[in-house]
């Protein structure tokens, strides 16, 4: 009777890989991604909201303050992206309405 040597977890995993490779199950998938320009992100600002549920409130506030030319895109958690096609618009609006912006963003 042959004595079986105990194997580590890593050895077991490696054996499984070798068996799958022999059976042709370990296929490598190649994905081609179209490269896109990120120039549109220049002049955009990622801001963190004080409260995540206030995204719609911020959008409404921008309209009421006459800043409806600034677009707001919810990203994730408490983050939003502020953008405008024209460069410097968001930065200028922030400088002119700093106190108002600081009421919504950290």
pLDDT in tens, 18-44: 766 666 555 566 677 777 777 777 778
Name the pTM for this structure. Answer: 0.54
94 assigned to some structural domain: yes
What pLDDT sits at residue 13? 67
Task: Tell me the torsion sign for CA atoms 44, 46, 49, 52.
Answer: positive
26 assigned to some structural domain: no
What pLDDT sits at residue 63? 86
Q: Is the pLDDT confidence value at 74 over 70?
A: yes
Could you tell me where the DSSP H helices lie in the chain? 9-23, 55-64, 89-96, 98-104
Expressed as residue numbers, the domain containing 79 is: 39-104
72 assigned to some structural domain: yes
Q: Which helix (H) or strand (E) holds 83?
A: strand 79-83
60 assigned to some structural domain: yes
Q: What is the C-alpha to C-alpha distance for residues 17 and 43, in angstroms, rounded to an integer?
A: 48
78 assigned to some structural domain: yes
Please, which pLDDT band fits residue 1 given cuts at 50, 70 and 90? low
Q: What is the C-alpha to C-alpha distance for residues 45 and 49, in angstroms, rounded to an integer?
A: 12
74 assigned to some structural domain: yes
Q: Is the pLDDT confidence value at 7 over 80?
A: no
What pLDDT sits at residue 22? 67
Structurally, the chain folds into a number of domains equal to: 1
19 assigned to some structural domain: no
What is the tens place of the pLDDT at every residue in 80-91? 888 887 777 888
Q: Is the pLDDT confidence value at 47 over 80?
A: yes
Please give the average per-residue pLDDT across 51-77, as a whole number. 82
18 assigned to some structural domain: no
């Amino acid at each position: 009777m042959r004595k079986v040597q105990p194997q580590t977890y890593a050895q077991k995993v490696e054996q499984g890989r070798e068996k799958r490779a022999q059976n042709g199950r370990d296929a490598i998938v190649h994905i081609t991604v179209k490269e896109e320009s990120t120039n549109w992100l220049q002049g955009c600002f990622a801001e963190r909201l004080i409260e995540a549920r206030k995204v719609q409130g911020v959008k409404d506030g921008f309209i009421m303050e006459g800043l409806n030319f600034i677009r707001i895109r919810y990203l994730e958690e408490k983050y939003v992206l502020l953008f405008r096609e024209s460069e410097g618009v968001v930065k200028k609006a922030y400088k002119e309405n700093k106190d108002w912006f600081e009421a919504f963003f950290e």
